[in-house]
Amino acid sequence: MDLGLELWGIGTARTLRVIWMAEELNLTYTLHPIGPRTGETKTERYTNLNPKQKIPLLKQDNFVLSESIAICRYLQRITDSGNIFIPQDNKSMALEDEWCSFIYGELDETSLYVMRRHYDLKEIYGDAPEVVQSCRTYFEKHLSVIDNTLMKQDTLFGYDFGLADILLITCLDWAEAYEFILPINVSKYHKEIKNREAYKKAFKINYRK
pLDDT of residue 122: 83
Amino acid at 75: L
Q: Is 53 exposed, middle or buried (0-12, 13-18, 19+ CB in 10 A)?
A: middle
pLDDT of residue 209: 60
DSSP H/E element including 165: helix 163-177
pLDDT of residue 185: 97
pLDDT in tens, 32-78: 999 998 999 999 999 999 999 999 999 999 999 999 999 999 999 99
Segment 154-162 long-range contacts (CB within 8 Å, at least 24 positions apart): 154/189, 154/192, 155/85, 155/189, 156/99, 156/189, 157/85, 157/95, 157/96, 157/99, 159/85, 159/92, 160/84, 160/85, 161/84, 161/85, 161/193, 161/196, 162/84, 162/85, 162/86, 162/96
Domain with CATH 3.40.30.10 in the chain: 2-84
CATH architecture entry for 2-84: 3-Layer(aba) Sandwich (3.40)
Domain with CATH 1.20.1050.10 in the chain: 90-196
pLDDT in tens, 100-156: 999 999 999 999 999 988 888 888 889 888 998 999 999 999 999 999 999 999 999
CATH of segment(s) 90-196: 1.20.1050.10
